[in-house]
Amino acid sequence: MRLTLNSISKQFDQKIILKDASFVFEQGKIYGLLGRNGAGKTTLFNCIAHNLVLEQGDIQFDEEGQFRDYDATEIGFTQTHPQLPAFMTAFEFVRFYMDIHREKLRHQRSPEDWLTLVGIEPADQHRLLKDFSHGMQNKVQLLLSLIVQPAVLLLDEPLTSFDPVAAHEFKQLIREAKNDSVIIFSTPILQLAQDLCDEIVLLHHQTLQALPTERLHDAGFEQEVISLLTDK
């Protein structure tokens, strides 16, 4: 399966974010989306997730040459600012989420196991989500996308609030998830993108540009990316 962006454009008032941008994201790969602050990475994710309406173009699934529109439920979107039910505990919410998505579960883990995996200790699992720090809420939100693996997984700057052990475990889960999903991963940390991603895509000058994969681990790759992003 492929996620195809066909000549898409998006702007807010007079500010153009995307202009006639096209790209094809393939299942089985993790894409690192890099761009300067304000370039429009989160806007792109919101367009893919059907949270925003495009001014031009379309975004479709390509299933062996058959193009189709998709439903927002086929997209997993981990946002920078989590939106979780304040009146539920972490355990209650994860258990509820697993119950309503029982047929889509990919792993035989309990709610406790999932929460422990992301570094939420048993004593915290029964606290209300409204009392969680932003970092802990982010862990719960990211967890949901991995419990029920969607066709497309959009990760907007994840892992920034994770300790080294939890981050390592999550990177392993994300690598496993790519076999059945298109994964697009935005991060301000180039080294993390190099470590985790199969391809790097730049959002610059209102369009998308893939970088040669054979240079991903070259000594001069970081400087090349910086040069491209600072090019006016």
> Residue 157: inside a domain, yes or no?
yes
What CATH number is associated with residue 27?
3.40.50.300
Q: Which of 70, 48, 46, 64 is nearest to 2 (CA)?
A: 64
When pLDDT is cut at 50, 70 and 90, the band that residue 89 belongs to is: very high
- Tell me how far apart the alpha carbons of residues 44 and 39 are, in angstroms, rounded to a whole number: 10
| pLDDT over 70 at 59, yes or no | yes
Of the pLDDT bands very low, low, confident and very high (cuts 50, 70, 90), residue 161 is low
Please indicate, yes or no, if residue 191 is contained in any of the structural domains.
yes
Structural domain contains residue 122: no
Give residue 182's domain range.
2-84+150-230
- 191-224 pLDDT, tens digit per residue, is 888 888 999 999 999 999 998 888 888 888 888 8
Report if residue 130 sits inside a domain: no
What is the total count of domains within the chain?
1
Residue 52 belongs to some domain of the structure: yes
The answer to whether residue 30 sits within a structural domain is yes
Specify the DSSP element, H or E, that contains 179: none
In a domain, 116, yes or no: no
State mean pLDDT over 71-87: 87
